[in-house]
């Protein structure tokens, strides 16, 4: 991580968006006082991450990317354990975890190691919330999780936000950026941009075109061989194409692709997404 | 058997006690097709794949992979397919070159061919400067691309990719898909699972498993029409949420 600066507002749902190896986990470990920074300063919930580390530990909840609860304690024992460590009880903060915990309560006597991935995730979140933290750190909570469970997880986060908890969440899924209030795009230890998802997309300065044809592979190779291309990225059923020229005319591209024996050519202007912006910044 | 059908599955079922992890699935995959095999966690995808690659014995039903029977010819299946997943890819404590030689050897390729393949592969991936580095020290994206190339080293008829791109940055993810297109264009059948719904759109056809059954199977375009959805993500949510 190099020279990172940012602020998160109270009750904000703040996303750290970037691929594996970008530095997301390192950042979270520093902010949760598990790792010393080499340089720079940071405060969480008003406390210094080095001097006031004990106070921070009482004020934040942290759900690491890797499942880190006790596998051979039951669901209920894990939750009790974390409540006790923070000098509280399940009953005292039950309201906060109720939504999530009711879904795993039928399995409260099952050992954590025997839970499915989705249930482990819910238990880990319950344990991270049991002491009513001011700030919640979630490190890639949805990696490897299917779209249905991902959607439910984000709905859960929105509800927590209503209960006055500030949430920092990291994810490699660009589409999840749109669900945050603000996001930091991060790659190779550097923040590429910080803004609302809408503003980030607005900053994209080039015109993007959806291009499609009968043979995807030939289309990609032909576009990449086109001397005027700026970027060529597969995007769902289309290829997102940008051109180097400011006076680009799609008809020229159409003629070029025809000359490459491509058929069923379709070219139309489209809007940039967070992912387009990320790739443009990351090059 | 029709020559262009490289996977034929009929009523394939796997029971664990009373629980049908895979419940009578039927489908076919054509040569050179990119076939997306989707489903929620726990829907039965992995169990189905294990039967197709010859490491799990079906309870009932029929299936042939690359022309070989999943009950009686599992060794022939293994020789004719490639496999890559995020959980099992390459050996972190072997170098790039050692991994290639190891997997070439496993598939019984002669030394001379391994050398040729290894050189070509390293050049194509631009790994010339890291051939003697441990794979564990490479960025995830490089590892995944190398792993895919290695899974193709014995020119398999079919390659099975189990969530190959999880956590990879968006640019590398696309480079990875370009490699998939290239392999398919050369006639290799690609059988792929993913949780990225934009990647589902890259597939020629997509099946969606729900609770052990295939609930939908068609081109992404037709699935979107069928479910009156704007994206494969919406199709998936519609189906898998029940």
pLDDT by residue (tens digit) across A109-144?
999 999 877 788 899 999 999 999 999 999 999 887
Chain A residues in contact with B184 (beta carbon < 8 A): 217
Chain B residues in contact with A151 (beta carbon < 8 A): 237
User: Which domains are present in chain B?
Assistant: 33-57+80-241 (3.40.50.300)
Mean model confidence pLDDT for chain A = 93
Distance CA B234, CA B227 (A): 8
**CB A234 to CB B141 under 8 A?**
no
Quickly list H helices, chain A.
Answer: 24-31, 53-59, 75-85, 94-101, 117-129, 147-162, 197-202, 216-225, 250-259, 274-282
Ordered strands of the B68-69 beta sheet: B19-30, B5-16, B60-65, B68-69
- Given a cut of 60, is residue B24 above it in pLDDT? yes
Q: In chain B, whose CA is at the least distance from the CA of A151? A: B237
**CB B195 to CB A147 under 8 A?**
yes
**CB A146 to CB B39 under 8 A?**
yes
pLDDT confidence of residue B2: 52
User: Could you tell me which residues come within 8 angstroms of residue A201 by beta carbon, excluding any fewer than 6 positions away?
Assistant: A271, A272, A273, A274, A276, A277
- The pLDDT confidence band at residue A147, using thresholds 50, 70 and 90, is confident
- The pLDDT confidence band at residue A174, using thresholds 50, 70 and 90, is confident
Ordered strands of the A238-243 beta sheet: A229-235, A238-243, A208-212, A266-270
**CB B41 to CB A146 under 8 A?**
yes
Strands (E), B41-144: 60-65, 68-69, 81-85
pLDDT confidence of residue A150: 87
**pTM for the whole thing?**
0.86
First vs last Cα of chain A: how many Å apart? 18
Question: What single-letter DSSP state applies at residue A111?
Answer: B
In DSSP notation, A40-74 reads: ---EETTEETTTTHHHHHHHEEEE-SS--S-TTSB
Q: How far is CA A13 from the centre of its chain?
A: 11
Chain B residues in contact with A278 (beta carbon < 8 A): 170
Distance CA A22, CA A18 (A): 6
CB-based contact (8 Å) between B212 and chain A? no
Q: Taking each helix axis from N to C terminus, what angle separates A94-101 and A147-162, rounded to the nearest 10 degrees?
A: 160
- Given a cut of 70, is residue A14 above it in pLDDT? yes
CB-based contact (8 Å) between B141 and chain A? yes
**CB A144 to CB B195 under 8 A?**
yes
Contact B158, B188 (CB under 8 A): yes
Report the share of chain B in percent with pLDDT over 90: 81
User: Which residue, among A67, A65, A76, has the nearest Cα to A130 in the 3D structure?
Assistant: A76
- The pLDDT confidence band at residue A282, using thresholds 50, 70 and 90, is confident
3 state SS of A14: strand
CB-based contact (8 Å) between B196 and chain A? yes
**CB B166 to CB A218 under 8 A?**
no
User: Could you tell me which residues come within 8 angstroms of residue B124 by beta carbon, excluding any fewer than 6 positions away?
Assistant: B149
Distance CA A171, CA A175 (A): 9
pLDDT by residue (tens digit) across A79-102?
999 999 999 999 999 999 998 999
Nearest to A145 among B171, B182, B195 (CB): B195
Nearest to A275 among B170, B202, B221 (CB): B170
Alpha-carbon torsion angle A131, A135, A139, A145, nearest 10: 70
B interface test, pick of A16, A142, A147 with most B CB neighbours within 10 Å = A147
In this structure, chain A runs to a length of: 283
3 state SS of A271: coil
pLDDT confidence of residue A69: 92
Contact A216, A51 (CB under 8 A): no
Give me the mean pLDDT over the B158-169 stretch.
88
- The pLDDT confidence band at residue B1, using thresholds 50, 70 and 90, is very low
Contact A24, A137 (CB under 8 A): no
pLDDT by residue (tens digit) across A26-80?
999 999 999 999 999 999 999 999 999 999 999 999 999 888 899 999 999 999 9
Lowest mean pLDDT among A180-184, A266-270, B40-44, B127-131: B40-44
Chain A residues in contact with B195 (beta carbon < 8 A): 144-147, 150
- The pLDDT confidence band at residue B170, using thresholds 50, 70 and 90, is confident
Query: What are the tokens at A22?
Result: 């970008």
Beta bridge partners of B31: none
Give me the mean pLDDT over the B157-171 stretch.
88
CB-based contact (8 Å) between B203 and chain A? no
Beta bridge partners of A60: A135
Chain A residues in contact with B166 (beta carbon < 8 A): 143-144, 172
User: Which residue, among B176, B170, B90, B163, has the nearest Cα to B133 in the 3D structure?
Assistant: B90
Contact A232, B175 (CB under 8 A): no
- Given a cut of 80, is residue B87 above it in pLDDT? no
Is the torsion defined by CA of A163, A88, A8, A24 positive or negative?
Answer: negative
């Amino acid at each position: 991580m190099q020279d990172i600066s940012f602020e998160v507002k109270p009750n904000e749902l703040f996303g750290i968006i970037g691929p594996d190896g970008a530095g997301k986990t390192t950042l979270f470990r520093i902010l949760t006082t598990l790792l010393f920074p080499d340089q720079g300063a940071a405060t969480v919930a008003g406390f210094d991450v080095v001097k006031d580390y004990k106070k921070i530990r009482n004020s934040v909840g942290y759900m690491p990317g890797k499942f880190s609860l006790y596998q051979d304690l039951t669901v209920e024992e894990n939750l009790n354990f974390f409540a006790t460590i923070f000098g509280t009880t399940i009953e005292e903060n039950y309201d906060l975890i109720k939504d999530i915990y009711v879904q795993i309560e039928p399995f409260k006597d099952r050992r954590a190691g025997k839970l499915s991935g989705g249930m482990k995730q819910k238990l880990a979140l319950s344990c991270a919330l049991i002491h009513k933290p001011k700030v919640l750190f979630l490190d890639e909570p949805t990696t490897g999780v299917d779209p249905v469970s991902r959607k439910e997880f984000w709905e859960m986060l929105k509800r927590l936000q209503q209960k006055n908890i500030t949430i920092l969440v990291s994810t490699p899924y660009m589409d999840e950026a749109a669900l945050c209030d603000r996001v930091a795009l991060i790659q190779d230890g550097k923040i590429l941009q910080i803004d609302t998802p809408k503003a980030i997309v607005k900053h994209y300065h080039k015109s993007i075109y959806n291009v499609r044809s009968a043979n995807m592979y030939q289309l990609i190779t032909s576009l990449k061989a086109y001397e005027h291309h700026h970027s060529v990225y597969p995007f769902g059923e289309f290829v997102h194409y940008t051109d180097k020229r400011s006076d680009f005319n799609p008809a020229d591209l159409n003629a070029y692709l025809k000359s490459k024996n491509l058929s069923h050519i379709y070219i139309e202007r489209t809007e940039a997404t967070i992912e387009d912006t990320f790739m443009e910044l990351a090059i | 058997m029709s020559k262009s059908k490289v996977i034929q599955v009929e009523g394939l079922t796997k029971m664990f006690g009373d629980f049908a992890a895979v419940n009578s699935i039927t489908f076919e995959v054509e040569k050179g097709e990119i076939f997306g095999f989707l489903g929620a966690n726990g829907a039965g995808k992995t169990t189905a794949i294990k039967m197709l690659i010859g490491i799990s014995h079906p309870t009932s039903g029929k299936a042939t992979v690359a022309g070989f029977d999943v009950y009686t010819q599992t060794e022939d299946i293994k020789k004719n397919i490639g496999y890559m997943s995020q959980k099992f890819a390459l050996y972190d404590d072997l170098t790039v070159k050692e991994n290639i030689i190891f997997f070439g050897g496993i598939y019984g390729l002669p030394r001379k061919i391994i050398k040729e393949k290894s050189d070509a592969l390293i050049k194509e991936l631009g790994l010339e400067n890291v051939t003697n580095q441990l794979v564990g020290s490479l960025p995830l994206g490089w590892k995944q691309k190398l792993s895919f190339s290695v899974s193709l080293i014995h020119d398999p008829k079919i390659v099975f990719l189990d969530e190959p791109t999880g956590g990879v940055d968006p640019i590398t993810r696309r480079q990875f898909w370009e490699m998939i297109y290239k392999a398919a264009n050369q006639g290799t059948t690609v059988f792929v699972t993913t949780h990225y719904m934009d990647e589902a759109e890259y597939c020629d056809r997509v099946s969606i498993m729900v609770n052990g059954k295939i609930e939908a199977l068609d081109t992404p375009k037709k699935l979107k029409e069928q479910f009156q959805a704007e994206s494969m993500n919406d199709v998936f949510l519609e189906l898998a949420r029940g």
